[in-house]
Amino acid sequence: MPSTIPTSAAAASLPSTVDASNIDEVNRLLENCSPREILTWAVSTFDNLYQETAFGPSGNVITDMISASNISVPVIFVDTLHHFKETLDLASRSQKKYGFRLHVYRPENCESESEFASRYGEELWKNDDVSYDYLVKVEPARRAYRELNARAVITGRRRSQKGDRSKLNILEIEKGTGMFKLNPLALWSFQLVWSYLCANEVPYNVLLDQGYKSIGDYHSTNPVREGEDERSGRWSGSNKTECGLHKDYFAMRSEFLARKKTMSAQQVTV
């Protein structure tokens, strides 16, 4: 059973079911709830609820809050095969501390970076970043949702990360699939996240101590300088702000298939 925590008036007013007809009202209420209240409500509201995380700072906070609330949420980790070794080490440390059930999904039919390169070419992220994102992130995540029958996933996205996230709602219904995405830290700043990690001795990626703030694949992640946006170290020198996990899945798949068809046609004519 969830541990007893003070319940705000907004949390007490949250409905036991949510759909397109009342999601705006639900979001209004959620904005006046604490993250732990949001998580506790979600566990009692959604069947097949999962936390999806790459063990970034926000995800680690959420994992700790779930544990502190004595509720259980299994975790989906998309291993792109291109993570920093420090990220993989953190995944192991976090699972050991909190004991959550961990579902790891990788690019289809690949178990290593070298195997991926052999199948799709060296440095695909440079030559065709759309195909790369689809193969290492979007497709494995969709396979996870399908095989696990996920109805809702918890993410660590926040408005303060700016870009496409600046107007993020706490609860979203994904276009085309009807799956819910819950963003309990949507209103938090990076400083709040960092303060929580330190105050509660939450395991975090040691790269944060080296100037990193948002950590993705090793080839497209850099430390950030003082005063820079926390995600400015991702895809430096480009206008890219998202890897594809939180974009329109059907549009991503359509673009990937179109590129695949073009590449196949070019190979035939060579």
Please list the active-site residues. 243
- Considering only CA atoms, which of 139, 177, 142, 145 is closest in space to residue 260? 139
Q: How far apart are CA 232 and CA 69, in angstroms?
A: 33
Q: How far apart are CA 184 and CA 42, in angstroms?
A: 10
- Considering only CA atoms, which of 7, 6, 10 is closest in space to residue 31? 10
Q: How far apart are CA 246 and CA 167, in angstroms?
A: 14
What are residue 75's phi and psi, to 5 degrees?
-115, 135
Read off the DSSP letter of residue 177.
T
Determine contact, residues 172/186, Cβ cutoff 8 Å.
Answer: no
Q: How far apart are CA 131 and CA 263, in angstroms?
A: 11
The vertex-61 CA angle with 151 and 34, nearest 5°, equals 75
Q: Which two tokens stand for residue 66?
A: 């779930």
List the helix and strand counts (H, then E) for the chain. Answer: 11, 6
Q: How far apart are CA 88 and CA 90, in angstroms?
A: 5
